[in-house]
Structure formats: structure tokens, C-alpha cells
């Protein structure tokens, strides 16, 4: 039986916010892959991108996912690019139900525009265009990774978390007890 819930999805789809609500409702610890990387390296994600580049970040991400995917009973909040390396999804799938959060580009822009600089990939002249390009390229990766997909464009985070719990109840192979 699988006992982790791993949240994937594009930046600004609400993974962190929904993850915290889920952790509270289900009384489970939350692990955020980006925070784990920041703690291990002692640098912010923005600094890792700036000083070491995206490839180094992706290697750190693979290592953090490898460690976390082995755990049980956790809510795992993934960074938006976790799906880009198939090995991450393979590892997560062993113990986790993978929930893909989706939202419209307009909503994503609104949600990501108020944290300037903290999302290095959107630190460009035309972030709307960048979001659309990245979303288009990544869509099949998210879809391939997902066991369950939830649209967070409309519902508040509490409703989105309840929708996930409802879907998990009818999902064979998820252990609520662990």
C-alpha cells in the first residue's frame, strides 16, 4: 500500500498551500523538496540557480527526491520541475499517490507575480509568455506523472484539499492509517 501523497504541478498551482492543509487534515508531516534542498545546501533556490545553474539544481532535486520517496506517511510537496526527470516520478510512485495540481495560465501569473525573484525561471522580461511556453512543454510530463488531477483555479485551498481526500478514499491502494 502507498502511504505518501506527492503533490506535483506547475509553479503557482498551490502545491505548498494545499500541502499544508492536507498535512493538517490528515495529521501527517509535510516535506517540501525545495526546502530540503535549501537546508542541505545552505542557499536559497534563487541563489542555487544564480550561482550554480539549473543543472546543479536538478541534480540536487534528484537526490532530495530519492531520499524523500523512501519515506512513508508523508505529504511531499515537489518543485514544479520534478516531473522533468523521469527517475523522480519512478521513485515517488513506489510509495506515493501522485496528485497533479493544475490551474489556468492567468491564475498562475497572478499567483506567481507577487513573489519577485523567488522563482528564477520566471525572472524574464515576458513572464506570461514564459509561463505559457513552459506549461505547454511540461503538460505531458505532468499528465504522465499523475494518478489524480485536481484543478485549483477556482476552489479555495480547503476545498481543493477536501477534493483530494475524497479522491483518495475511492483510490485503492492508499493507506490512510499509516
In the complex, what is the shortest distance from the CB of residue 68 to ligand S3P, in angstroms, rounded to a whole number?
14
Sheet holding 30-32, edge to edge: 30-32, 75-77, 4-9, 96-102, 148-151
Task: Give the residue with the Cβ less far from ligand S3P, 1 or 124.
Answer: 124
Give the separation between CA 39 and CA 9, rounded to whole angstroms: 22
- Quick one: which segment of 67-75, 79-87, 139-147, 149-157 binds ligand S3P (CB under 6 A)? 79-87
Nearest-10 Cα torsion for 106, 108, 114, 116:
-110
In the complex, what is the shortest distance from the CB of residue 149 to ligand S3P, in angstroms, rounded to a whole number?
16
Sites for ligand S3P among residues 118-147 (CB under 6 A): 119-121
Sites for ligand S3P among residues 104-123 (CB under 6 A): 119-121
Residue 123 phi, psi dihedral angles, 5° rounding: -85, 65
Task: Give the residue with the Cβ less far from ligand S3P, 50 or 173.
Answer: 50
Give the separation between CA 45 and CA 35, rounded to whole angstroms: 8
**14 binds ligand S3P, rule: CB under 6 A:** no
Nearest-10 Cα torsion for 99, 74, 13, 64:
-100
**80 binds ligand S3P, rule: CB under 6 A:** yes
Task: Give the residue with the Cβ less far from ligand S3P, 11 or 30.
Answer: 11
Strand 4-9, strand 75-77: pairing: parallel
In the complex, what is the shortest distance from the CB of residue 89 to ligand S3P, in angstroms, rounded to a whole number?
14
Among 7, 18, 45, 64, binds ligand S3P (CB under 6 A): 45
Nearest CA to 28 out of 162, 159, 177, 172 is that of 177
Interface with ligand S3P (CB under 6 A), residue total 10
Which residues bind to ligand S3P, rule: CB under 6 A? 11, 15, 34, 45, 79-81, 119-121
Amino acid at each position: 500500500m502507498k502511504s505518501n501523497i506527492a503533490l506535483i504541478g506547475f509553479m503557482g498551482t498551490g502545491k505548498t498551500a494545499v500541502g499544508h492543509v492536507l498535512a493538517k487534515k490528515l495529521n501527517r508531516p509535510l516535506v517540501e523538496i525545495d526546502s530540503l534542498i535549501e537546508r542541505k545546501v545552505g542557499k536559497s533556490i534563487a541563489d542555487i540557480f544564480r550561482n550554480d545553474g539549473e543543472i546543479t539544481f536538478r541534480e540536487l532535486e534528484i537526490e532530495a527526491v530519492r531520499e524523500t520517496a523512501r519515506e512513508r506517511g508523508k505529504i511531499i510537496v515537489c518543485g514544479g520541475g520534478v516531473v522533468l526527470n523521469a527517475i523522480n516520478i519512478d521513485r515517488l510512485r513506489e510509495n506515493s499517490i501522485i496528485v497533479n495540481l493544475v490551474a489556468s495560465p492567468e491564475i498562475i501569473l497572478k499567483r506567481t507575480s507577487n513573489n519577485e525573484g523567488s522563482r528564477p525561471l520566471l525572472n524574464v522580461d515576458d513572464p506570461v509568455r514564459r509561463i505559457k511556453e513552459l506549461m505547454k512543454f511540461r503538460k505531458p510530463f505532468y499528465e504522465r506523472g499523475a494518478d489524480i488531477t485536481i484543478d485549483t483555479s477556482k476552489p479555495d485551498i480547503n476545498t481543493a484539499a477536501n477534493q483530494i481526500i475524497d479522491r483518495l478514499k475511492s483510490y485503492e491502494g492508499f493507506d490512510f492509517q499509516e
